[in-house]
Structure 1
Amino acid sequence: MKDLERFSGKTTQKPRQSAAASSPQTVLPQAQFVTIGEEEAGQRIDNYLLRVCKGVPKSHVYRILRSGEVRVNKGRIDQLYRLVAGDIVRIPPVRMAEKPDNVVPAAEFPIIYEDAHLLVIDKPAGVAVHGGSGVSFGVIEQLRSARPDAKFLELVHRLDRETSGLLLLAKKRSALTSLHEQMRDGETDKRYLVLATGDWKNKRQHVKAPLHKYTTGDGERRVAVMETGMPSHTVFTLLRKYKDFALLEAELKTGRTHQIRVHLQSTGFPIAGDDKYGDFAQNKALQKRPVPLKRMFLHAHQITFRHPDSGKIMTLNAPLAPECEKFLVSLGQPDNSALQ
């Protein structure tokens, strides 16, 4: 069974198709015994099973956990158990229908940096970083499909689907842990290029507005400025001033959901092309210009962090997407006097 043949641990018994599984749609492999390696250690058993048993319904994964059919070192565990290197996990026979039409298409993305610990790509706008919320797959699933021999590949952070630019992925669990600690402790520096609409005045502006996440009646995730929200801080630096637009660099001091988008909206300068928090009439007009803007103008262009293995301080950059560059050119010469 494809989903079980791709275990990242060492198996002591290969799956076998039974006589009852003569249909190409159904396979009944035997129990698997998997030895957990260093890269799998630290994961919760439920998350580990959901990953290696691709295609098996989540409800079924939790059922075999509750029933005790999954064993670690011959003993029963619950879904909160965290795996340890050397653990021997028994995964019982699972039944699933193969759906070739739903196979995640393999894809690679422009690579900014890669070594044994990290993969940093330049994510295009319009591509989700992971499946869910109406999206069947995203960057992480496509990369795993393109790299079937990768023992470990996880997102370090996320970008909105409409945002382009730098996306970090960890190729080792130690790298993931290190980078998460750096982000939690405020050691990383993330910078975005953003085109704000309106007559922006300040060369440098701090926006400190608490943000509250909520879900709309139709299940859409949204964010609003509210006194009861989480403390949030963005620093905006003016790079170029155009008539009715301003190219800004946004420096995140906190990392809240939709932070840049909502902070700009709350100050009266929404992002050009933002279909959630922008000026919808203006967005339609932007799409009809001679050089149209058909996406949100938000790009993760720079990140600074400490390499999780060497400790070296690294600063990586991703060039502005061509469609955004073309739109800037169409705006004419910027007003340099605004920067003085």
Structure 2
Amino acid sequence: MSQPANPPAAAVRHLTVDEESAGQRLDNFLIRELKGVPKSHVYRIIRSGEVRRNKGRVSADDRVETGDVLRIPPIRLSAQVEAKQLNPAPPRQFPVVFEDESFLAIDKPAGVAVHGGSGVSFGVIEQMRQARPEARLLELVHRLDRETSGLLLIAKKKSALKALQDQFRERETGKTYLALVKGTWPARLKVLDQPLHKYLLADGERRVKVTTKDDPDGMHSVTLVKVAARIPAPAALASLLPEGLTLLEVTIKTGRTHQIRVHLSHAGHPIAGDDKYGDFELNRQLTRAGLKRMFLHAWRLRLSHPVTGGALELHAEIPDELQPWSGGRTGKGD
């Protein structure tokens, strides 16, 4: 681990690059080390020459090496960031699906953000760092929407973080979700290959929509769908759900924001309980019938171990609150 840790006081510091950090770009190294410092400020102090490596100038895309000594200029954190450091997130452990010396996989509950920001003071990663003060490093490998439950990977070593993120970036992992959708999903519809476009509502909230192939801002997005079970509608919802519900296994080949939710909704089968892209009247009735959250669960993850290269398949069981709507599925690999 680089020494010393980042204190809130505005003073010149010197960070020594350890063996695990060797080969990282300078900007990425500093963004991880200077927690709470805006990225724009990190780039500003690099461009200005205030950051020095072994007393010489250095560029953002230069790779750091073991033993490099980096001079960091005085950085005064904002009052908001200092308040967070003085009032850290409450410690919390989460159910562990897999763990070894390089990374762990947890089963994230719905309703918990993976990290602080955008109006959220703290999330999974901040709580876990407080719960595991002895951990040298805990970093998110990827993300899940706040209302999505299931498998979330956290790296314990920088080498594992890079190896796992490379797998996600190169689409070498298999991420499969369970989603309960409105109506009868047509079994023949197995591939959704539609570009997605991000936009903002008037109040600044982020949204995503399917766009045309010629949209220059469209992001290539591919979702694979398999019918897992047909779920009859509760008697009280028969008029709203004449075709019942369908439980789907959904595998994403690209990891776009809200990809599954938008693709399924655009196909005419929104996810049950989705408060952004769903059927809002149906959601109200589902809530009364006992479904209190969106039925989207990160169920299975296939990957290569970041150290050994061996094949891994991880599962997160369907949470108790979704079990009555799962058609008997448990998520144990069934």
TM-score normalized by the length of structure 2: 0.82
- 1:242 aligned to 2:267? no
Post-superposition offset of 1:28: 5.3
Please list every run of 5 or more consecutive structure 1 residues that lacks an aligned counterpart in the other structure: 1-7, 17-25, 335-340
Which piece of structure 1 moves more, 115-124 or 50-59? 50-59
Match 1:233 to one of 222, 240, 250:
222
| 2:192 alignment counterpart | 207
Give percent identity, aligned residues only: 54
Match 1:149 to one of 134, 154, 161:
134
Post-superposition offset of 1:142: 2.0
| 1:126 alignment counterpart | 111
Structure 2 CA distance for partners of 1:104 and 1:79, relative to 1, 3 Å = farther
Q: 1:135-284 maps to which residues of 2 (within 5 A)?
A: 135-202=120-187, 205-228=190-213, 229-243=218-232, 244-284=244-284
Maintained 8 Å contact 1:39/1:152: no
Maintained 8 Å contact 2:102/2:160: yes
Q: Find the aligned partners of 1:91 and 1:302 in 2 and give their Cα distance.
A: 42
| 2:324 alignment counterpart | 326
Q: 1:4-153 maps to which residues of 2 (within 5 A)?
A: 8-11=1-4, 27=9, 31-55=12-36, 64-95=45-76, 98-99=82-83, 102-153=87-138
Structure 2 CA distance for partners of 1:15 and 1:316, relative to 1, 3 Å = closer
Match 2:315 to one of 314, 317, 332:
317
Maintained 8 Å contact 1:154/1:169: yes
**Which structure has the greater CA radius of gyration?**
1
The one-letter amino acid paired with 1:238 is V
Maintained 8 Å contact 1:46/1:61: yes
CA deviations on 1:150-204 (whole Å, 9 max, x unpaired) are 3332222111111000011222222222223323333211111110012334276
Post-superposition offset of 1:318: 0.4
Q: Find the aligned partners of 2:226 and 2:325 in 1 and give their Cα distance.
A: 20
Maintained 8 Å contact 1:123/1:166: yes
Maintained 8 Å contact 1:39/1:151: no
The DSSP-based 3-state class of the residue aligned with 1:237 is strand
Post-superposition offset of 1:114: 0.7
Maintained 8 Å contact 1:306/1:313: yes
